[in-house]
A = this chain, B = another copy of it.
Amino acid sequence: MEFKPTIEDVAKLAKVSIATVSRVINNQGGVRKATEERIVSAINELGYIRSAVARSMKRKETHTIGIIVPDIKNPFFPFVVSGIEQKAREKGYYTILSSTNESPIVEEEIVKIFIERGVDGVIITTANETGDHIKLLHDQGIPIVAIDRAIKNFEVDTVLVDNVNGSYQAVQHLILQGHKKIAIICGPQNTTPGHERFLGYKKALEDYNIPLDDKLVIQGDFMEGSGFHATHELFDLEARPTAIFSSNNLMTIGCMKALVDLDWKLGEEVSFIGFDDVEIATFIKPKLSVVSRPMNTLGEIAVQLLYERMNVKGNLPKRQYLLSPELKIRESCQLNKIKI
């Protein structure tokens, strides 16, 4: 049955005008019971499904939310996306997802396509926080919610995780265990998460009067490989750190691999805390302590903010959420195990 019935076919079969059919499929009321029944059975008989395209054309809205993430393969994002999707569906919105592989160029293309397709709003974790390349959205008056990473050059609603606080807690915990030589594997300093996590590290050291040692600050790029190399670098230091703080999940993985490689004994020769929970955390012995982000909540709040912005006529002020990460102490940073 390759034939796609339209509202007109339904109208004919039910012997009414298309306007009346429209009223029924949109539950607008004002249609006589009997007429409605005739229409409904015509719809069923034909297997009519209304065209969202035509509807969008007329209504100037698609009920579609565009989602842009930098890397769908990073396990953090599927959890966030899952939160977004579920909440969005609840509210009658649907999502179109794209992953940019951290490329601002790809991101710009995607933005263009999202505009072409008339998305009603966008939730984005951008690959370039200046936001210049997604200015187009802003210009078109399409609501944006930035999650996990801020947009600098114009105002948008934002849902962030309190990175400074999260890494502060982690490093503080390490310090309270007696560590003084605490290394950090950093994320890119031109990203909010990367920079802020470093800031939290720095602040904790300052608060406890531990001088910052540049040699213990290794730059990474949030990818597994850089965690691996950073750990090697740290191991080769004359004054090896007694504790390592890794700025994200993927680098934590890399770090763990390096530790095994180097036979650098986790929990005995070196303590560890990582930003982001990882699947492996509870399998490694000792179990990994981590700072964990509320991924699902992140997605849900983003939808809520976007929803308000899409459906409120008046001007809303810029809203900013800062979610608290949670320090999960497990076994990789226990007291007294390490000779300091």
Contacts and interface: CB of A to CB of B under 8 A. Distances in A.
Contacts of A283: 253, 256-257, 260, 280, 283-284
Nearest to A59: B53
Interface string A57-93: 1000010100000001101011101100100010000
A115 B49 contact: yes
Contact of A47 (B94, B98, B139): B139
Given A4-B140, A94-B113, A53 B49 contact: no
Given A52-B116, A257-B282, A73 B78 contact: yes
Contacts of A56: 53
A96 B94 contact: yes
A89 B73 CA distance: 17
A330 interface: no
Contact of A72 (B49, B82, B98, B136): B82
A3 to B, nearest CB: 9
Interface string A228-257: 000000000000000000000000010011
A51 interface: yes
A191 to B, nearest CB: 21
Contacts of A329: none
Contact of A118 (B52, B98, B257): B52
A213 interface: no
A191 B44 CA distance: 31
What are the 4 tightest A-B residue pairs by CB atom distance, in nearest-first order?
A: A52-B116, A2-B141, A280-B280, A52-B117
A95 interface: yes
A64 B97 CA distance: 12
Contact of A279 (B47, B77, B97, B278): B278
Contacts of A316: none
Contacts of A82: 72-73, 99
Contacts of A4: 140
A152 interface: no
Given A47-B139, A49-B115, A53-B53, A95 B96 contact: yes
Nearest to A285: B285
Interface string A265-296: 00000000000001110111100000000000
A56 B56 CA distance: 11
